């Protein structure tokens, strides 16, 4: 019987899931996903984490619990850095320890460290370490990783073309040819806040139904994001922060969007800085309406709906009556 590797549908899931699924399946394992987020998963996560944790970390714990009795291993890597000379949120770095100390009766965690600040040799060793849970055959692990990278770049290409991974399944948001589009909105935020339809309260499908054309950072070239992020006075050394800020600046300065919605989690230190830097930039540009949606485990859908409707109405009113001039004077 194949070894079962559980992959929780949270945090890095929407960025890297296709890579690791291909990797472990090529090695002969069966990959088991947790269910899409629901109330039960959220409640289990909330119950098994400290109050201070941000919503995505709580949700992640819920997904681990959802998997723990169904698999031989749970994939919870210790992600320190995914680009040279950059870091990601400290909560990712301490995730295996947090999970290990918060949840009882776990199967073994695949908790290998990923750190692009270390040498190339170290990265090679890292890949082997991920593979050793299934096989000691180094050649096979190397091949599995090559296949995984291939699948990962196809995945990125799909996202760039407007197929977005809502709950891990592609949904076509490439509706640029639709003549009935009301407005064009950029949605910016961490992938786990945006593409988890339970925590985002189905924002994407709501906007699609409302005839709003959506654009997201995943649809922009990496080089373009970097170019705009480099306009900041200081280098942003958080990789996710650089991506969000660079793409927001690009949307505000170049793309013809009518507004930007930023989805942030309550208690996220990184978001509090990014969102503030972006808001200042948008006000300086003076032309892009900006809506901040902060979500936590108590957020109510009705309140979020009202704010989105008011935002869309304001954009339409502005187009009709202000000739798109800034409402800030
Ligand atoms: S970046 Fe923010 S939301 Fe994401 S894990 Fe870190 S604190 Fe939580």
List, for residues 231-274, the tens digit of each pLDDT value: 877 777 788 888 888 888 888 887 678 889 999 988 888 888 88
Q: How far is the CA of 187 from the centre of ligand 1 (A)?
A: 17
Contact between 166 and 205 under an 8 Å Cβ cutoff? The reply is yes
Is residue 191 scored above 80 in pLDDT? yes
Q: What is the mean pLDDT of the chain?
A: 88
Report which of residues 228 and 109 the model is more confident about: 109
Please indicate whether residue 270, judged by its CB atom, sits closer than 6 Å to ligand 1.
yes
Does residue 60 carry a pLDDT above 60? yes
Residue of the nearest CA to atom 7 in ligand 1?
268
Looking at the chain, which residues constitute the CATH 3.40.50.11900 domain(s)? 168-321
Contact 88, 79 (CB under 8 A): yes
DSSP string computed for 252-265: HHTS--SEEEEEEE
d(CA 232, ligand 1 centre) in Å: 21
Residue nearest to atom 1 of ligand 1 (CA): 89
Compute how many other C-beta atoms are within 10 angstroms of the C-beta atom of residue 103: 19
Backbone angles phi, psi at 172, to 5 degrees: -80, 115
Say what the pLDDT of residue 249 is: 84
On the question of pLDDT at 222 being above 60, the answer is yes
Residue 131, pLDDT score: 97
Atom number in ligand 1 closest to CA 267: 7
Give the pair of three-digit tokens for residue 115: 């750190």
Top CATH class, 168-321: alpha beta
Query: 4-158, what's its fold?
Result: Rossmann fold (3.40.50)
Given a cut of 90, whether residue 165 has pLDDT beyond it is: yes
pLDDT at 300 over 90: no
For residue 259 the two structure tokens come to 């507004």
> CB of 236 within 8 A of CB of 266?
no
**Cα 67 to ligand 1 centroid, rounded to whole Å:** 22
pLDDT value at position 325? 55
């Amino acid at each position: 019987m194949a070894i079962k590797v559980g992959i929780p549908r949270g945090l890095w899931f929407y960025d890297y899931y296709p890579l690791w699924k291909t990797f472990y399946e090529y090695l002969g394992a069966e990959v088991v996903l947790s269910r899409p987020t629901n109330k039960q998963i959220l409640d289990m996560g909330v119950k098994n984490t400290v109050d201070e944790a941000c919503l995505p970390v709580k949700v992640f714990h819920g997904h681990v619990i959802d998997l723990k009795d169904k698999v031989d291993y749970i994939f919870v890597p210790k992600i320190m850095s995914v680009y040279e000379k950059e870091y990601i949120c400290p909560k990712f770095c301490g995730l295996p320890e947090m999970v290990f100390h918060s949840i009882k009766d776990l199967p073994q965690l695949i908790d290998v460290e990923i750190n692009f600040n270390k040498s190339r040799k170290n990265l090679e060793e890292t890949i082997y370490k991920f593979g050793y849970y299934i096989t000691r055959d180094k050649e096979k692990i190397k091949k599995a990783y090559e296949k995984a990278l291939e699948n990962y770049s196809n995945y990125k290409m799909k996202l760039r073309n407007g197929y977005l991974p809502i709950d891990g399944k592609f949904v076509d948001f490439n509706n640029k040819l639709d003549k009935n589009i009301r407005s064009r909105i950029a949605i910016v935020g961490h992938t786990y806040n945006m593409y988890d339809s339970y925590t985002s309260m189905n924002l994407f499908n709501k906007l699609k139904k409302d005839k709003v054309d959506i654009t997201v950072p995943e649809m922009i070239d990496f080089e373009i994001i970097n170019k705009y992020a480099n306009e900041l006075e200081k280098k942003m050394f958080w990789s996710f922060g650089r991506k969000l800020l660079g793409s927001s600046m690009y949307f505000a300065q170049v793309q013809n969007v009518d507004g930007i919605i930023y989805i942030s989690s309550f208690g996220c230190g990184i978001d509090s800085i990014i969102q503030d830097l972006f808001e200042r930039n948008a006000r300086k540009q003076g032309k892009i309406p900006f809506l901040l949606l902060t979500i936590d485990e108590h957020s109510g859908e009705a309140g979020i709906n009202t704010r989105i409707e008011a935002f869309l109405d304001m954009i339409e009113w502005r187009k009709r009556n202000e000739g798109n001039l800034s409402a800030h004077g």
